[in-house]
Amino acid sequence: MTVYRGFDQRELDREYSPSSKVADLGAEIAAYAEQSRRAHRELSGHRELRYGPQAPELIDYFPAAGRAEGAGTPLHVFVHGGYWQELGKEDAAFPALDFVPRGTAFAAVGYGLAPRWPVERIAGQVVAAVRWLLDHAAELGADPARVVLGGSSAGAHLAARALLDPAVRGRVRGAALLSGVYDLEPISLSYVNRPLGLDADRARRLSPLHAGAAALTGLPPVVLALGEHETGEFGRQGAEFAAALRAAGVPVRELLAAGRNHFDLVFDLGRPDTALGAAVAELDRPPAGGRPEPGGAGS
């Protein structure tokens, strides 16, 4: 029986199981935790910051190394994945190991998880966290005009939702969205929905792909990245969101990272010697008198 776009239930569930493309999911997730512990251990100045009154409403903040007195640094804000139901900011600190030494502050956003927290509340928490960081960037030693927002998988969905918020959209320099889910309709029809409980109407309202041209117009430049080893549905989602952004006049760069998968792609985020890391660094280098254009093939 066809469930979605020609997929039966088993096929659709496989398409939204990125672990089907990796040899050892446990090792991939363990690498997040191990490298995040290393970041907490080795990087000085780390602070846990509260952006709201609820228990999960916390941010791990890592100031940039070598900041000159009085000079604000770039800030990369990262939203972790885990299908809105797994992982946490404690597993998302590892990109700081690359950002901090080269002079970019890093913030890993914490948020509540399903089923305790509905996706609407989770999205609202991420918006609140990004707003808080923008409002407090200067006192944290970062430049509020040099904030880039990033996210992976469900975190890319949440980061995209935050970009649409009126208090965020005009204040973020750019966005780096990795292996994202931008249309939640197939999620609502798959095994992923069991703890989420999305119906068709909620799935559509929560989907950045269906926000409409008016909502997307005026967004900052966006890098959309995928690993080489992803399912076809993640590729389709990225391509369709890129097309919607371009139709709204948003500068977009699409990247396919050779050899990477859904889980290890994020290790390239802060490494300028990779295609993704170079594109992210470029977001913070605007031409004189203008906002950054994520140029290159695919723009």
The tens digit of pLDDT for each residue in 26-57 reads 999 999 999 999 999 999 999 999 999 999 99
In this predicted structure, the answer to whether residue 289 has a pLDDT above a threshold of 90 is: no
pLDDT, one tens digit per residue, over 220-259 is 999 999 999 999 999 999 999 999 999 999 999 999 999 9
Looking at residues 185-200, what average pLDDT do you find? 98
Write down the mean pLDDT value for the chain. Answer: 94
pLDDT at position 272: 96
pLDDT score for 293? 46
Q: Which three-class secondary structure string do you get for the chain? A: CEEECCEEHHHHHHHCCHHHHCCCHHHHHHHHHHHHHHHHHHCCCCEEEECCCCCCCEEEEECCCCCCCCCCEEEEEEECCCCCCCCCHHHCCCCHHHHHHHCCEEEEECCCCCCCCCHHHHHHHHHHHHHHHHHHCHHHCEEEEEEEEEEECHHHHHHHHHHCCHHHHCCCCEEEEECCCCCCHHHHCCHHHCCCCCCHHHHHHCCHHHCCHHHHCCCCCEEEEEEEECCHHHHHHHHHHHHHHHHCCCCEEEEEEEEEECCCHHHHCCCCCCHHHHHHHHHCCCCCCCCCCCCCCCC
Residue 290 has pLDDT above 60, yes or no: no
Amino acid type, 299: S
User: What is the per-residue pLDDT across 74-119, written as a single tens digit (0 to 9) for each?
Assistant: 999 999 999 999 999 999 999 999 999 999 999 999 999 999 999 9
Considering only 59-68, 186-195, 248-257, which range has the smallest mean pLDDT?
Answer: 59-68
The residues spanned by each domain of the chain are 2-64+73-283
What is the value of pTM for the model shown? 0.94
Mean pLDDT, residues 266-295 taken together: 80
CA–CA separation, 141 vs 74, rounded Å?
9
Q: Tokens for 34?
A: 């191990």
CA-nearest of 97, 93, 162 to 133 is 162
According to the model, what pLDDT value does residue 285 have?
A: 75
Evaluate if residue 179 carries a pLDDT over 90: yes
Among 3.30.420.40, 2.40.40.20, 3.40.50.1820, 3.40.50.720, name the CATH number for the domain at 2-64+73-283: 3.40.50.1820
Name the residue among 264, 235, 261, 239 with its Cα closest to residue 252: 239
User: What pLDDT, on the 0 to 100 scale, is given for residue 66?
Assistant: 74
pLDDT at 13 over 50: yes
Percent of the chain with pLDDT over 90: 91
